[in-house]
């Protein structure tokens, strides 16, 4: 080995770890895991794998990580696989365990930073397949700011009779209403999830995969490939190879994740009818890389970008069907040609977005999934940022228009998701109600649980057009109906949502972007004077640490804001 650290600029981080006689112990440890003399002279590429048997979204990622390692090795690097955690929203929904979901995003980010920072990886490939590990991976790459690529694990195939995980949740609601029996529910349960891959609609995983590709941090088409396919294996191998090119050119996430790139990501999310979680995650990712992004950017961009994708949960088709007609690349080419994307943004190919899209062919003429821009499903964004005396610092609504754009009803207030779920199931919740589920925010929950179980129960009971739901928690990408989440300030912080009482009239206007409780300022002041902050639900452990450090949802619910 050389006496001094290598002058190879591609080995900026690995050289101090393994070069020279003083690093013999480091090399000895690495020989035990397969390094040779030659390997110590190569750039090291960390492969962050989110493989786990915890969820079908990630159960195949060990195979994908191995392909990425082989790709890095083939291009002259030394790939090293390491793991980080994942949790399953689909399994944890409706339980106390769901409080760990958003928390896991921060744990994943921390763990990738920790391993790569300690081991001296020169470049990284991160492979994610479920809602929180994807932005968690991206935030980790952003913190490290070393040449990096994100790879999406891919979408699941449809279940029998065109079912998916949301079909199961809604079947449970239909059963509680008496529309179907337990045998029918079990049949859906047994066939809706046919194998590996992320939940099949334009839910949070597919939304974030599409956003990350539009951001320029994935290779073209990485977001639109089936989990179990040769194309996905090839994508991983190519990503491993591409990191060596990024090292050669010293292209880092901060060169790619610019404000204009985030605007591209927002544009594509809106066009696809994507998840409300994209608001939270994109703001969090931008914060981590040092780009200013706010709720107002979603409103501004949403005024000029239509919803054109007829995808679940509010539409008909699944991601695998979009994959079959070309994925999101033809849509992005259409958006670029219409002047709705910044074509000069750099991507992980080393080329600009416009250069990547130059030869993309349009969708087949007979496809019904992506509508023309001049005949959209909705002329403006379905992601509505609402303000008013119930949400002075903002709330996020997902209003496709199918459920209407305005709702006025009487408040029915619950202090937790479980309370609301019980009253939906027993028929207490009726048409005209506005369900208020509070103390589920980032600090109050803690963890900002998703409300997929209650929203699915509402749909299953046939109340999707007749009740609204507002919360300081979040929604799954699979939620649909008249729903408003991310209400800020949250109840635990004394936000106005904490002051609502049963029977108060609430108005939600997704055209004026207003959310109001129709109570006088004097009455709200009286209630505020009587309000007392509840005791924290957790005092030790990861949930307690999260509650003490997490920012407002309107700031991305990150845990490392500078003081």
**Whether the Cβ atoms of residue 386 and residue 508 lie closer than 8 Å to each other:** yes
- Give the whole-angstrom CA distance, residue 56 versus residue 59: 5
Q: Which residues contact 174 (CB under 8 A, 6 or more apart)?
A: 180, 185, 460, 461
174: enclosing H helix or E strand: helix 165-177
- Give the whole-angstrom CA distance, residue 4 versus residue 14: 13
- Give the whole-angstrom CA distance, residue 190 versus residue 382: 33
In 3D space, the residue among 157, 159, 158, 137 whose CA is nearest the CA of residue 149 turns out to be 137
Which residues does the chain have with pLDDT short of 70? 1-4
Q: What confidence score (pLDDT) does residue 2 get?
A: 45
| Residue 111 designated active-site | no
Q: Which two tokens stand for residue 332?
A: 């992005």
Cα 146 to chain centroid distance, Å, stands at: 22
Q: Is the dihedral of CA 487, 490, 491, 494 positive or negative?
A: negative
Q: What confidence score (pLDDT) does residue 1 get?
A: 44
- Give the whole-angstrom CA distance, residue 155 versus residue 96: 27
Q: What confidence score (pLDDT) does residue 133 get?
A: 96
Q: What confidence score (pLDDT) does residue 479 get?
A: 84
Q: What confidence score (pLDDT) does residue 170 get?
A: 85
CA atoms within 13 A on the CB side of 124: 32
Residue with tokens 């209400």: 487
- Give the whole-angstrom CA distance, residue 517 versus residue 537: 27
Question: 0.85 exceeded by the pTM?
Answer: yes
Q: Which residues contact 6 (CB under 8 A, 6 or more apart)?
A: 15, 19, 41
Q: What confidence score (pLDDT) does residue 125 get?
A: 99
**Whether the Cβ atoms of residue 385 and residue 508 lie closer than 8 Å to each other:** no
Of 287, 476, 479, 552, which is the active-site residue?
Answer: 476
How many beta carbons lie within 10 A of that of residue 209, not counting itself?
27
- Give the whole-angstrom CA distance, residue 217 versus residue 236: 13
Q: Which residues contact 442 (CB under 8 A, 6 or more apart)?
A: 102, 448, 490, 546, 547, 550, 551, 552, 553, 557
How many beta carbons lie within 10 A of that of residue 229, not counting itself?
16
């Amino acid at each position: 080995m050389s006496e001094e650290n290598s002058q190879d600029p591609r080995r900026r981080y690995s050289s101090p770890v393994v070069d020279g006689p003083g690093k013999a112990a480091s090399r000895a440890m690495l020989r035990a895991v397969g390094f040779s003399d030659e390997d110590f002279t190569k750039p090291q590429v960390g492969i962050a794998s989110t493989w786990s048997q915890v969820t079908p979204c990630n159960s195949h990622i060990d195979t994908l990580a191995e392909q990425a390692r082989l790709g890095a090795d083939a291009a002259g690097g030394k790939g090293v696989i390491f793991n980080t955690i994942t949790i399953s929203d689909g399994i944890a929904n409706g339980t106390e365990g769901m409080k760990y979901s958003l928390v896991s995003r921060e744990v994943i980010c921390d763990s990738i930073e920790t391993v790569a920072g300690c081991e001296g990886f020169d470049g990284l490939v991160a492979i994610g397949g479920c809602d929180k590990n994807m932005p968690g991976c991206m935030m980790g790459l952003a913190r490290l700011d070393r040449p990096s690529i994100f790879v999406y694990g891919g979408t699941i195939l449809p279940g029998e009779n065109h079912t998916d995980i949301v079909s199961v949740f809604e079947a449970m609601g239909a059963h509680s209403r008496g529309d179907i029996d337990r045998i029918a529910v079990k049949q859906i349960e047994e066939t809706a999830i046919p194998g590996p891959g992320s939940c099949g609609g334009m839910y949070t995983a597919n939304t974030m995969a599409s956003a990350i590709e539009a951001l320029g941090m994935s290779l073209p088409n990485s977001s639109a490939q089936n989990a179990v396919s040769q194309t996905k294996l090839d994508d991983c191998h190519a990503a491993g190879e591409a990191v060596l090119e990024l090292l050669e050119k010293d292209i880092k996430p901060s060169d790619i994740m610019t404000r204009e790139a985030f605007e591209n990501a927002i544009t594509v999310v809106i066009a696809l009818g994507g998840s409300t979680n994209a608001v939270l995650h994109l703001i969090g990712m931008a914060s981590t890389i040092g780009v200013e992004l706010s709720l107002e950017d979603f409103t501004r961009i949403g005024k000029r970008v239509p919803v054109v994708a007829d995808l679940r949960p509010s539409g008909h088709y699944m991601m695998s069907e979009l994959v079959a007609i070309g994925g999101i690349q033809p849509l992005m080419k259409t958006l670029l040609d219409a002047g709705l994307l910044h074509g000069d943004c750099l991507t992980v190919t080393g080329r600009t977005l416009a250069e990547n899209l130059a030869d993309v062919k349009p969708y087949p003429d007979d496809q019904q999934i992506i509508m023309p821009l001049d005949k959209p499903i909705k002329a403006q964004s379905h992601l509505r940022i609402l303000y008013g005396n119930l949400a002075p610092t903002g709330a996020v609504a997902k209003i496709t228009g199918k459920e209407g754009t305005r709702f006025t009803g009487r408040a029915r207030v619950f202090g937790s998701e479980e309370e609301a779920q019980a009253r939906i199931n027993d028929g207490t919740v009726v048409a005209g109600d506005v369900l208020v589920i509070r103390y589920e925010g980032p600090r109050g929950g803690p963890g900002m649980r998703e409300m997929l179980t209650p929203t699915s129960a509402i749909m299953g009971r046939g109340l999707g057009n007749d009740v609204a739901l507002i919360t300081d928690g979040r929604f799954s990408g699979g939620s649909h109906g008249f729903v408003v989440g991310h209400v800020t300030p949250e109840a635990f912080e004394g936000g106005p949502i904490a002051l609502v009482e049963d029977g108060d009239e609430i108005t939600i206007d997704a055209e004026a972007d207003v959310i109001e409780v129709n109570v006088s300022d004097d009455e709200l002041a009286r209630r505020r004077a009587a309000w007392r902050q509840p005791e924290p639900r957790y005092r030790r452990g990861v949930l307690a640490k999260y509650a003490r450090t997490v920012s407002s949802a309107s700031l991305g619910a990150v845990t490392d804001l500078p003081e």
